[in-house]
Each structure stands twice: as structure tokens, then as C-alpha cells.
Amino acid sequence: MKILSGILLAALVLGCGGCAGAPEEPVSTLLFAPGDGGSKYYRIPALVTADDGSLVAVADRRLESMGDLPNKIDLVARRSTDGGRTWSSVIPIAEHRGDCGYGDAALVSDARSGELLCIFASGRGLWESTPEAPIDINVCRSGDFGQTWSAPECITPQLWGAACANPLSRGWYGAFAASGRALQLRDGTLLFVVAARTGREAPPLVNYVCMSEDGGRSWRLLPTPVDMNGDEAKLVERADGSWLMSIRNPAKGRRKYALSADRGATWSEPQRWEDMPSPACNGDIVRYTLRVEGARRNRMLHSIPLDSVERRNVSVLLSYDEGCTWPVRRSVWSGDAGYSSLTVLPDGDIGLLTEVGNWERGFEIYFTRLTPEWLTRGEDDGR
């Protein structure tokens, strides 16, 4: 009897241990919803982990219309200091003045200074813009991890338009930075990608990289176009120092990408990820782990509506071969959902900010915290 009781007790303990080891399910929190703050609509998520470990989530507060610029749009943020479990009240970054709105934020945390940078568009819409009266690109800064922000600084003349000294881009008709995440390289260089209307007629849009080597105080346009028929695009640094650009494909079907091994001086011909369906939608790509920083494997993450036609099924994908293939993927929002942004939390969990909904009913913006164990169905703890 004592032997039998011991066997039953051991089985019970092992069973409970198995339950305890089951991957934790994702937890989602609604951050921005139609009607909040007197606004009819919200769109365009951007998410970053600040130098102190806090999370900053940013969205367009589109007061009267769901449309892009020109529109009455405010950029607003919420912060979390406990890994996304609770969130602050709304913090304004840039609020519209008259008919001049601000939207499409891209975020980056400068590891050298500890500052957050928010890069965004303002004023005219992309299709109304001209070299003499451009849609503007701006930068705001936060030195206190997203609690307060500086006034917008217009950097358009540094990059393009009639006031720019660069003959390559002086005659462009419009350009904007892709929303979500900008990139800091391991050497401290800051990068973001613009989609440019290089002529009066558009599409197509052309992708170029913008670079700052002084913490975003000054910017320059790299001269080589990446994709002559692209759209919103994101960058990630590979383990060998080369650059990988993930590009929204205006033709739908499959997501596009391009590679540079010489810091943007030249680029490979854009290719398609055959294992990444995409419905011509913005997504995000970030570094998750690096062997040189102590991890067992190099890992990248990508978020995208994993559907070749409709904006739905926003999923998180994982690559072990520096973005060549994406064998791991799990759906987070199986229904209608569009733009998304990713960040890595200090404890190794993954943060996802997603616009959930559609153009008919509007969008709600949710933060989701998920674990690498859940993403990989228990096969990888992310270390």
C-alpha cells in the first residue's frame, strides 16, 4: 500500500509539473478605442521598449475621419512600467493645429543617450504633397522614457524637397517614414526607411534609407534606392552586420525583402519570401536574440497579417537563419486586423501592438504580451 501510494503521489507531482510547464497564453489589453479622448478613430500602432525597461505605445488619434493626412490627427502615447500589465493615461506627443495633423509614428530608443525618438509625418498628405509644399517628416524626443516630449522638429529640408540641397531628392513630390519601429545599429547609427513619390505620378513608391550618426540631430538620405516599386518598409541588422529590409508589397501575395552588405551603398534585387503571405500591409521586424550577446541562437521576429489577400490573421513569425526563412509562426488575431508593431521586453517576453478591426467598423488598438514558449509551442524558451 505504501509503495502504491508513493507511485500515485509521484504521478500526481509529475502531472502538476507538466501543467505548470505549459506555455502561458497571450494576454491582450485594449489601449486605444473609438470614442476615447473625444476621438472617433484610432490607427497606426508603434511600440518600443525604453532604456529603463518601460513600454511606450503610440497611436494616431484621428479625431474626425479615419483617413490619412491631411486630417486632424494627434499622436498620443501610453506607458507601462510593469511589462504591459497596467498602463498610464494618455500622453500627448504632437497635437494637431488647425488643419495640420501629425501621424504615422516610428519609434526608436537610442541606447547611447537613453532618449526615445518619435519620427512622423505632418501637414499635407502624400498625394497632395509637392516639392515646394511638402508633407513633412518630423522628430520629437523624450529624455524621460516617454513621459514628456519635445516640440516637433521638421527634418524635411535635410532629406528631400525644394528646400533640400540634395539634387537627388530636391524634386521629389513626397516621402514619409514607415510607422512602427525605426532601427539603431549596434554601432549606434540610427536608420529609418522612407517611401518616396519621386515624380508627379504615383504609384510606384520608391524606398530609400535615412541615416543619423549623431543620435538623430542630423539626417542624410543614402543615395541608393532599394525598391523601385515598394511601400512601407522596415530594417533589421543581421548578425554579420548586413542589413535586411522587409518591404510591403503593393501587389499583395508575398512580402518582399532586400539585403545590403555594405551599409546601404548597394542593395540586392528585391525578392519575395515565399513562406510569408501578406495583403499589402505594414508589419514589423525586430531582432530578438544574438549569439554574440549570450543567446543560444540568433533569432528575429516579424509581425504581419498572414494572409495573401485580406488584412486579417495578424501573426508573429520567428526566424533562426537571419531572415532567410520563417518556419515558426502563430496567429495572435485570427479575425480582421492590420498594422502591428513589435518589441522585446526586458524579461524576454514579446510585446505586440495591433490595430484590430476594419475600415467599416473602425479599429481598436491592443497590446499583447506573449512568451517565446507560446510562440514555439514549448520548443524554445528564447534563451
- CB distance 26 to 87 below 8 Å: no
CA distance 263 to 249: 23
Does residue 28 lie in a domain region?
A: no
**Among 207, 224, 259, CA closest to 238:** 259
Instruction: Give the number of domains in the chain.
Output: 1
**5 band by pLDDT with thresholds 50, 70 and 90:** very low
pLDDT tens digit string along 102-130?
999 999 999 999 999 999 999 999 999 99
User: What residue type is assigned to position 190 of the chain?
Assistant: L
- pLDDT at position 201 is 85
Average pLDDT, the chain: 94
What residues have CB less than 8 Å from 1, skipping those under 6 apart?
none
- pLDDT at position 202 is 78
Does residue 36 lie in a domain region?
A: no
CA distance 40 to 148: 25
Please report, for the domain that includes residue 340, its CATH number: 2.120.10.10
| Residue 69 reports pLDDT greater than 50 | yes
Mean pLDDT score, 247-265 = 97
Strands, E assignment, 72-115: 73-80, 91-94, 102-109
What are the cell numbers at 309? 489577400
Does residue 265 lie in a domain region?
A: yes
CA distance 253 to 315: 16
- pLDDT at position 100 is 92
Measure CA 370 to chain center.
Answer: 16
Mean pLDDT score, 196-213 = 94
Tell me the longest C-alpha to C-alpha distance in the chain.
Answer: 91
What residues have CB less than 8 Å from 85, skipping those under 6 apart?
27, 29, 369
- pLDDT at position 298 is 98
- CB distance 313 to 322 below 8 Å: no
**99 band by pLDDT with thresholds 50, 70 and 90:** confident
Mean pLDDT score, 181-205 = 95
Does residue 238 lie in a domain region?
A: yes
Phi-psi region of 80 (alpha: psi -120 to 50; beta: other; left: phi over 0): beta
Q: What percent of the chain has pLDDT over 90?
A: 93
Mean pLDDT score, 314-325 = 98
DSSP state of 100: B
Residue length of the chain: 383
- pLDDT at position 3 is 33
**12 band by pLDDT with thresholds 50, 70 and 90:** very low
- pLDDT at position 203 is 84
User: What is the enclosing helix (H) or strand (E) of 4?
Assistant: helix 2-20
Give, in degrees to the nearest 5, the angle at Cα 40 between 37 and 41: 95
| Residue 2 reports pLDDT greater than 80 | no
Does residue 34 lie in a domain region?
A: no
Measure CA 49 to chain center.
Answer: 12
- pLDDT at position 8 is 35
Does residue 137 lie in a domain region?
A: yes
Does residue 192 lie in a domain region?
A: yes
Domain that holds residue 114: 41-375
What are the cell numbers at 318? 520567428
pLDDT tens digit string along 345-375?
999 999 999 999 999 999 999 999 999 999 9
Residue for cell digits 505605445? 57
| Residue 17 reports pLDDT greater than 70 | no
Mean pLDDT score, 16-29 = 74
Burial of 261 (0-12, 13-18, 19+ CB in 10 A): middle
Q: Which long-range contacts (CB under 8 A, 24 or more apart) does 194-201 make?
A: 194/137, 194/159, 194/160, 194/221, 195/230, 195/231, 195/232, 195/233, 196/160, 196/169, 196/172, 197/126, 197/127, 197/129, 197/172, 197/173, 198/171, 198/172, 198/173, 199/173, 200/173
**291 band by pLDDT with thresholds 50, 70 and 90:** very high
- pLDDT at position 53 is 98
- CB distance 260 to 268 below 8 Å: yes
| Residue 382 reports pLDDT greater than 70 | yes
**Among 47, 58, 54, 77, CA closest to 301:** 47
**9 band by pLDDT with thresholds 50, 70 and 90:** very low
User: What residue type is assigned to position 376 of the chain?
Assistant: T
What are the cell numbers at 333? 488575431
What are the cell numbers at 182? 525605426
Does residue 382 lie in a domain region?
A: no
- Rounded to two decimals, the pTM is 0.93
What are the cell numbers at 165? 540641397
